[in-house]
Amino acid sequence: MPKRPISFRINGRDHTTEIEDQVLLLDLVRDIGLVGAKLSCDMQVCGACTVLLDGRPVSACTTLALEADRRTVETIEGLADGSTLHPLQQAFVDNFAFQCGYCTPGMIVAAKALLDERPRPDAAQVRHWMEGNICRSPRASRSTSRCRGWRTRSWCDPRTRTHASSGSSATRQNAARGC
Compute the 3-state secondary structure of the chain and give helix, strand, coil in percent, each to the nearest 5. Answer: 40, 15, 45
Give the mean model confidence (pLDDT) for residues 86-103: 84
- Does residue 15 carry a pLDDT above 50? yes
The 10s digit of each residue's pLDDT in 45-85 is 888 999 999 999 999 999 999 999 999 999 999 999 999 99
Count of helix runs (H) and strand runs (E) in the chain? 6, 5
Q: What's the pLDDT at 152?
A: 41
pLDDT (0 to 100) of residue 13: 97
Beta-bridged to residue 136, according to DSSP, are: none
Cβ atoms within 10 Å, residue 103: 24
- Residue 171 pLDDT more than 50? no
Cβ-count burial 115-129 (b if 16+ within 10 Å, e if not): beeeeebeeeebeeb
Domain limits, the chain: 3-78, 87-177
Assigned fold of 3-78: Ubiquitin-like (UB roll) (3.10.20)
CATH 1.10.150.120 for domain 87-177:
yes
56 φ, ψ (degrees, to nearest 5): -110, 140
